[in-house]
Chains A and B, each alone.
Chain A
Amino acid sequence: MRRWTAGLLAVLAVALLAGCSGATRTAATAPQAAVAQATPSPPAPTCGNVVASLRPPAALPAPGQMPAGSYMRTIQDRGRLVAGVSQDTLLFGFLDPFDGQIKGFDIDVLHQIAQAIFGDPNKIEYRAMTGAERISKIRDGSVDIVGRTFTITCDRRQQIDFSSVYFDAGDRVLVRRDSTAKGIQDLGGKKVCTTNGSTTIPHLNAVPSKPVPVLLADFTDCLVAFQNGEVDAIATDDAILAGLAKQDPYAKFVGDRFSDEPYGLGLALGHPEFTRFVNGVLDQMRANGTWANLYRTWLVPSLSNAVPAPPAAAYKD
């Protein structure tokens, strides 16, 4: 009897050990699998035109005179726009160590929104955040708006609202200068860094040569890993990669875009008047040359040698 019990225990122990080690191996070598399970994909939502946002009003209220009852009025009464940003994405949202200010293309777009609400572009309180925190911080009301290289996707649209597209980015890949890879297709089995919760993860998983995704919190963490030789490449939106390449002269772009990443400002569901207002401001920026000026200031020549036309807005009513 005793021997029988001991045998059963031994079998149980072996089974447990096998189960544990199996789980560990899956988590360690296949982070993409874990991520794929984390985002429920089966009931694939349908969004129609995913980039279509709410149509702006014919005329915007004057700065400092937001209509009573609107969310803009709440912001105006508070005295500052609370904005979720990145502070380490060079060119789009980064902390300038020389003057301690957060700057970049995304930040200047937010300045335009603050200007439209208050008549003062600087009435902004920044909340730096990682990419993975963006949706939750919008949903729990920590921030009014997120301007942080935020790709509009159908999944995300189920949880938050987006402005019209204000920037067209696309996934590319950054490798060391001496790499012979010509694009993402040549990086099969190589470690490619990107961030937690980014839209690049499914795109990387879809590459037939199967690069190995390595997920870190921030792109600067990816650059540290890249410079230490822990990863072979960094893959994400070209807009972000341009800022990384600027910090490391031994990094180079290879290959074409392997995805489209339309950027929108992230907003909460529940006050559509604010989305319409923001779209109105973006329309003004496209029309009056502000958008082109921002592009020239931040992205020529790091990303492109010429200023392209601003992305056209698509609307639904």
Chain B
Amino acid sequence: MGAGLVHRVRAAAATTPGRMRLISLGVLACVALAWALGFYAVSHRQQGIRTVGTEVQPVVVESRSIQSLLSGADASAANSFLAGGVEPADQRARYLTNTRQAQDELAKAAAGGGASAKAQDAVRTIAESSATYVGLVESARANNRQGFPVGAGYLRRATALLNNTILPAADRLHEDSVLRLDAGYAAAGGIAATVGVLVAAVVLFVALVAAQVFLRRRTNRVLNVGLAAATGLSVLLIGWTLFSLVTEGSQVAAARDRADALNLLAQARVTAFRAKSDESFALIARGNGAAQYKAFDDAVAALGSPDSGKGLLAEAARRAAAGDEQASMNGAVAAFKSYLAAHANIANLDSNGASPQAITTALAAGPGTANGAFEAFDQAIQRVSVLTQQEFDGHIRSARGHITGLAIAISLAFLLVAVLVLYGFQRRIGEYR
């Protein structure tokens, strides 16, 4: 059979029309290769964008949201606890809203992020432990309302559960989704597919030109309309595909930059909430809060500031887009600075034997207070996050727009190229009959 095929090819190559048929088959194979690589590149990227935009990035955001919502809830619970038996209504309301929203985010993460066993395990840990967490906080409240010191024990345990179990589990969920995200980005913006298309394009172009040179020598006709049209169309087609891939790639890169900025903002929020909790726990410790103040200082150092050029806030400010986003970021930085000033006053009162005054100061709400400044900081950071998320969504939409329908379009166009190639050869082969 193999020997038969070789024999038939040899026989065909002996005559000019036979040779033409063989060459036309070769050119068609090049067309098919270019189409296959182009189709693969485009659909691979579509899949990548889907992974990034609608499957994984939401889980990345959700895992960070769970962390900041629960850290915020904990900061509120700790601050409320300072107040004694009857907690301030606004702190209690914030605690309830945060825990409820965290449950919603968790439900979304469970629905969307359950791909790997690691992610599923993390989601399960968060779900179980946050139910326990809420129970511990309610036990703390119930005991505190009766004036029982064991309430403080329940609150300590709740915070330990959050810091030692829930936040690390959310970190694991985050890490896992980031790994999947990296794969998605590699698919959505990777250079390999583009290079493949380029190589196939060069091969196809060379094949088409070589075919025309061959035909011209054999037939002494200057122009083969079919092949010339096929060459022109191929050049346009390849150019269009490459342009789409490159612009789509740059949109994906822009989206990734926004996603990184979002992650920084979320980390900054979580860290700030941790600091706020530490402040409350330092005060709850009544004059023995050195360890908590140290934890507070560590968190603040991790946040840093644009002035020092170091830390999460500096990095987030660098990444904020000009305009409203930069303005909100500046607002967040300024608010955090005034929170730190208010905190210094509280810590100073506390370390100079005026714990009760320090607590009153830490509990006060409204403009100019620690709680007021922190609230302003949090809202500004949330505003920046919303804007950054919108930019991310915009880039993903735009990236998707560049390649939507491209796979079908290039399939049809390459089919046309193939038809033109066949038509061009057929005319010449026909002349030998």
Contacts and interface: CB of A to CB of B under 8 A. Distances in A.
Nearest to A98: B85
Nearest to A88: B149
A80 B353 CA distance: 8
Interface in A69-111: 80, 82, 87-90, 94-102
B168 to A, nearest CB: 20
Contacts of B148: 90, 246-247
Given A127-B287, A128-B285, A100 B153 contact: no
Given A100-B356, A221-B156, A90 B287 contact: no
A221 B157 contact: yes
Given A127-B286, A246-B148, 7 more contacts: A82-B353, A95-B286, A97-B144, A101-B356, A227-B150, A247-B146, A247-B149
B152 interface: yes
A100 B287 contact: no
Interface in B182-200: none
B286 A88 contact: no
- B interface majority secondary structure: helix
Contact of B149 (A80, A90, A227): A90
B151 interface: yes
A247 B143 contact: yes
Given A97-B147, A100-B84, A100-B359, A88 B153 contact: yes
Interface in B34-84: 84
Interface of B: 84-85, 139, 143-154, 156-157, 285-288, 353, 355-356, 359
Contacts of A220: 149-150, 152-153
A218 B139 CA distance: 17
A80 B84 CA distance: 25
B353 A87 contact: no
A278 B287 CA distance: 23
Most-contacted residue by chain A among B85, B145, B149, B286 (CB, 10 A): B149
Contacts of A100: 84, 356, 359
A215 interface: no
10 contacts: A97-B85, A97-B151, A99-B84, A100-B356, A127-B287, A128-B288, A220-B152, A224-B150, A227-B150, A247-B146
Nearest to B359: A100
Interface of A: 80, 82, 87-90, 94-102, 125-129, 133, 218, 220-221, 223-224, 227, 243-244, 246-248
Q: Can you list the 10 inter-chain pairs with the closest CB atoms, starting with the nearest?
A: A220-B153, A125-B353, A88-B149, A128-B286, A97-B84, A127-B287, A247-B148, A224-B153, A97-B85, A94-B149
Contacts of B355: 125-126
A247 B286 contact: no
A100 B358 CA distance: 12
Nearest to A248: B150
Contact of A87 (B146, B147, B156, B286): B286
Nearest to A243: B149
Contacts of B356: 100-101
Contacts of B288: 127-129, 133
A220 B151 CA distance: 8
Nearest to A133: B288
Contacts of A90: 148-149
Given A97-B144, A224-B154, A126 B286 contact: yes
B210 to A, nearest CB: 57
Contact of A98 (B139, B147, B156, B285): B147
Nearest to A226: B150
A223 B151 contact: no
Contacts of B156: 221
Nearest to A83: B287
A215 to B, nearest CB: 15
Given A96-B147, A126-B355, A223 B153 contact: yes
A88 B286 CA distance: 11
A53 B82 CA distance: 39
Nearest to A100: B84
A101 B149 CA distance: 12
A220 B353 CA distance: 25
Contact of B150 (A80, A127, A133, A247): A247
A87 B356 CA distance: 14
Most-contacted residue by chain B among A99, A101, A125 (CB, 10 A): A125
A89 B149 contact: yes
A95 B82 CA distance: 10
A246 B143 CA distance: 12
Contact of A221 (B144, B153, B287, B353): B153
A183 to B, nearest CB: 24
A100 B148 CA distance: 12
B157 A224 contact: yes
A125 B356 CA distance: 10
A280 to B, nearest CB: 25
Contacts of A227: 139, 150
